[in-house]
């Protein structure tokens, strides 16, 4: 059964770093658009970063210069390196794949993303 499983979340102080991983199984998701989304307390889910089949990346303005999305095609794994974390980065982070797109990943149209993991919690304290 195709699934996405996130790991690497935890608690960290402001200014710290975390690396999230998303292990994909049952489908070669790295052929498609893959991305990270997050939902903070009392907030709507928002797109954080995306990467297409060819490695082109896009980021939400709030994380540009601090977060880096990458993937390992051989391991069918997606990563999110998060540096200079801020309390406002506190959220449940979700891995997702858009099996309908190889390029032109759209972080703002969540309806396109048809495969989701269950999430990993990131908590940043001040």
pLDDT value of position 98: 95
pLDDT score recorded for residue 30: 85
CA 75, 80, 106, 92 torsion-angle sign: positive
Residues of the chain under the 70 pLDDT cut: none
pLDDT of residue 101: 94
pLDDT at 37: 98
| Six-digit token string for 1 | 């059964």
Structure tokens at 23: 């292990």
Beta carbons within 8 Å of 23's beta carbon, 6+ residues apart: 4, 5, 7, 75, 76, 77
């Amino acid at each position: 059964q195709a699934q996405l499983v996130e790991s690497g979340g935890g608690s960290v102080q402001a200014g710290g770093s975390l690396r999230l991983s998303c292990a994909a199984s049952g489908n070669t998701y790295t052929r498609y658009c893959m991305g990270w989304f997050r939902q903070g307390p009392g907030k709507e889910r928002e797109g954080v970063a995306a990467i297409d089949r060819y490695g082109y990346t896009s980021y939400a303005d709030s994380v540009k210069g601090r977060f880096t999305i990458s993937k390992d095609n051989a391991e069918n794994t997606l990563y999110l390196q998060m540096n200079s974390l801020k309390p406002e980065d506190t959220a449940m982070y979700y891995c997702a794949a858009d099996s309908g797109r190889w390029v032109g990943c759209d972080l703002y149209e969540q309806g396109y993303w048809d495969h989701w993991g269950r999430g990993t919690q990131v908590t940043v304290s001040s």
